[in-house]
Structures are given as C-alpha cells and as structure tokens.
Amino acid sequence: MDALLVVNAGSSSLKFQVFATTDTGLERRVRGQIGGIGTRPRLQAKGADGAVLVDRSYDADVVRDLPAAIAVARDWLLTLEGFTLRAIGHRVVHGGPDFAEPVLIDAAVLDRLASYQDLAPLHQPNNLAPIRQAMAINPDVPQVACFDTAFHHGHPEQVNCYAMPRSFYDEGVRRYGFHGLSYEYVAERLRELAPEAARGRVIVAHLGSGASMCALRNGHSIESTMGFTALDGLPMGTRPGQLDPGVVLYLILQRGMSAQVVSDLLYHEAGLKGLSGVSNDMRDLLASDDPHAKLAVDHFVYRCGLNAGMLAAALGGIDAFVFTAGVGENSAPIRARIAEGLAWLGAELDPTANDAGAMLISAPASRVALYLIPTDEELMIARHTLALLRTRTA
C-alpha cells in the first residue's frame, strides 16, 4: 500500500505519522513520537484504532540527540509491513519572506531553507535535520516542506512591517505569523461545516502550549497575533507573549543577563509557568488553589480578550470565533471565560453545548457564532504532500 510519512521534528521530540494513500484520499495508519530526546527517550506509536504498536524506553546516551532519534524512528518504521513509502512531508517552521506555499525539496530549496535559520534558530535546524538525513539515505523519495508561516504570506506591508528602519524589513525582520498549518486546516474544516460563516470575518484561537490567534476574511489570513518569532502575542505555556522590548534591554543592560540566558527565559521559563510558579499546563493551573495559578489563568483569559479585540478591529467586526488546539479543544471553562470576554462583540455561549464539546457552542441568539474545531496539522501536511506528489507525477 502506498504511504506518506509526516514528520514534525523538534529539539526534544520527533513526531511522525503514516498515512495510507487510497483511491478516496488519505487514511491515518500510525501516529507516533520519540519524546524526551537526550533525557528520557521513549518511542511510542499507536495504530489507527488506538492500539499500541510500540512503547519502548531508551538510555539517554543512546538517543542523545535528534539525529539519533531519527535513526531509531526510521529503524522502527522499516519494521512496518505492507507500506511503500511514496513521499515524506515535513513541518518546517519558517518559509522566510519567499515561500507562500509548500514546496518540493531539492538541494537548492534546502539551501534557501537553511538560510532562514537565523530567523528561527531554535526550530529551523531541527526541522531540516530529518530532511537532510532522508535525502542522504534515500534521495529518490520526494520530500515536501510545509511551513507554519506560509498561510500568512501576502499580508500587506503595513500589516507585516515593524516601525523600524527599512533595511531591517529588507533583511527579513517582519511579522510572519505562525501556526499557519493549523489555521489552514481549521479554515478548510469551517468551510465544510459552516460555509457561510467561513466566508465571513472569523477569528481562530489556536490555544495549545504555543498559542496565537488569526484573523480570517473569507478563509484567508489577514492578521496574526504572532510576529517575527513565535514569542509574540498571547501568553503561552512557557513564553510570555507580547512583551515591551524594553524589558529585554533591562535584563541585558541592567541585570547583566547574557542573550542566551534571556532567550532561555523567554522560550522556556516565562508564560504560564513563570507567572504561576506552578506549571505550564493549563490543567494543573485550573486544578490548583495557589493564587498565582489563578493569576496566570486570569492573565491568559484577559490577554485572549485583548488580542481578540485587536483582531476584531483588523476585521472590522466578527461573524465567528473558533477555538482549537489543546486548551481550546479540551477546556470548557477556559472557552466559557474567553467567550464572556467577547460579549461586547455580540457573542453568547450555549453552556450546555460548550460543556458537551459540541461543534457549535454559541446560543441561537448569539450575533457571533462560536465553534469548537479540533485542529489536525499533520493531516494538512499529508494533504499538501499528496497534492505536490500528484502534480509531480501528472
């Protein structure tokens, strides 16, 4: 059976999925990951029916880095019978100023993507590592890069510029926006589920351990809360969201912190984790009676409301608001509190539908339709990969 492999490689985890390509489209067959790379490596994978296919722990010095994890995952994937690998689709965080859509990778494209490493130093090198490895081992298997930035490509300059000297924009210091594969999937799903709403003014809130919002007009991104990096916008699990750059100057100039220490602070120690001192996980915060946990949740909800207001201004009003990703899909109380903050825009929640996790969670009289739509970035990558594969063989 022909199959596509979808790869999402980070510094501490390597996620992968196998999709069978059938006459009717794509069928997910395997969902797996190696987590705890370099600390407590563990390979886990499940089949389409949820059955555990593998659950194996490794010594930290055996799977000490991403290349080692890729080798372990590859060895395990090769034991799967009945699949013929036709292509590999990769999540690549940065498509830089150039890539507006997924691209078939060759040596020249890989060089271009590597040149964006300075724009996303924590993510891009990890995203490119499995591409290089697969290219070396099996250059005949086509590989496709799918970007988190691409969906936001084409924002006019007044939207994606910073008020900085021109030369910085020209060298790539722009507001790119991220989570694009998630927004693209949700936009497609909304078109299927509620075509009229999808044609209107929509805010999608991707609330996971990373969090952002995107303003859609007729299914196209017109604004995002994220900017040059995935640090901007909403407070996240371990990232602060919008921060006065003066704070960074203070940390470096007055407190004498090195750029590396500040970077670690902003990516790994801030956000809900830093503010609460309890956890980066919304479930822990909601369950805690520590006042700082409550503060972190209040801050998150407040900033979601503020950012929704900003995007509503960009859209000139809103017709629908969509919740997605870990917090958005699973936490009825957080959805309820964010919806309360949208009341001034005409949103009214249906608490029963919200508690039940229904697709439409607004009251019939609500002037803003509220939706809950689970995201599926891997399926989006598989679709793009299949589409490019078919143009190549057409």
Catalytic positions, written as ranges = 148
Please identify, using beta-carbon distances, which residue of 131 and 325 lies nearer to ligand ADP.
325
Please tell me whether residue 142 binds ligand ADP under the rule CB under 6 A: no
Task: Give the number of residues in contact with ligand ADP, rule: CB under 6 A.
Answer: 12
Q: What backbone phi and psi angles, to 5 degrees, belong to 184?
A: -65, -40
Buried b (16+ CB within 10 A) or exposed e, 266-300: bbeebbbbbbbebbbbbeebeebeeeebeebbebb
CB of 282 to ligand ADP, least distance (A): 3
Decide: 68 and 90 in contact? Cβ < 8 Å.
Answer: no
One character per residue 257-296, x = contact with ligand ADP (rule: CB under 6 A): ------------------------xxx-------------
When binding is defined by CB under 6 A, the residue of 243, 330, 336, 359 that contacts ligand ADP is 330
Please identify, using beta-carbon distances, which residue of 177 and 210 lies nearer to ligand ADP.
210
One character per residue 75-104, x = contact with ligand ADP (rule: CB under 6 A): ------------------------------
Please identify, using beta-carbon distances, which residue of 95 and 208 lies nearer to ligand ADP.
208
Q: Which residues contact 143 (CB under 8 A, 6 or more apart)?
A: 87, 88, 89, 90, 104, 105, 131, 134, 135
Burial of 308 (0-12, 13-18, 19+ CB in 10 A): buried
Please tell me whether residue 210 binds ligand ADP under the rule CB under 6 A: yes
Please identify, using beta-carbon distances, which residue of 92 and 312 lies nearer to ligand ADP.
92
Closest-CB residue for ligand ADP?
Answer: 326
Question: Which stretch in 92-100, 188-196, 322-330, 354-362 sits in contact with ligand ADP by CB under 6 A?
Answer: 322-330
When binding is defined by CB under 6 A, the residue of 237, 240, 271, 274 that contacts ligand ADP is 237
Please identify, using beta-carbon distances, which residue of 283 and 390 lies nearer to ligand ADP.
283
Please identify, using beta-carbon distances, which residue of 9 and 389 lies nearer to ligand ADP.
9
Decide: 89 and 384 in contact? Cβ < 8 Å.
Answer: yes
Decide: 119 and 149 in contact? Cβ < 8 Å.
Answer: no
DSSP single-letter state for residue 360 = B
Instruction: Name the token pair of 353.
Output: 């539908």
Decide: 77 and 98 in contact? Cβ < 8 Å.
Answer: no
Question: Which stretch in 84-92, 215-223, 325-333, 360-368 sits in contact with ligand ADP by CB under 6 A?
Answer: 325-333
Q: Strand runs (DSSP E) across the chain, as ranges?
A: 2-9, 14-22, 25-35, 42-47, 52-57, 84-92, 103-104, 143-147, 201-207, 211-217, 220-224, 320-324, 369-372
CB of 281 to ligand ADP, least distance (A): 4
Please tell me whether residue 241 binds ligand ADP under the rule CB under 6 A: no
When binding is defined by CB under 6 A, the residue of 21, 126, 224, 331 that contacts ligand ADP is 331
One character per residue 154-193, x = contact with ligand ADP (rule: CB under 6 A): ----------------------------------------
CB of 43 to ligand ADP, least distance (A): 18
Q: Which of 187, 188, 242, 192 is nearest to 212 (CA)?
A: 242
Whole-angstrom Cα distance, residue 132 to residue 48? 29
Burial of 194 (0-12, 13-18, 19+ CB in 10 A): buried
Decide: 172 and 121 in contact? Cβ < 8 Å.
Answer: no
Whole-angstrom Cα distance, residue 161 to residue 172? 10
When binding is defined by CB under 6 A, the residue of 198, 213, 327, 373 that contacts ligand ADP is 327
Please tell me whether residue 355 binds ligand ADP under the rule CB under 6 A: no
DSSP single-letter state for residue 112 = H
The footprint of ligand ADP (CB under 6 A) covers 208-210, 237, 281-283, 325-327, 330-331
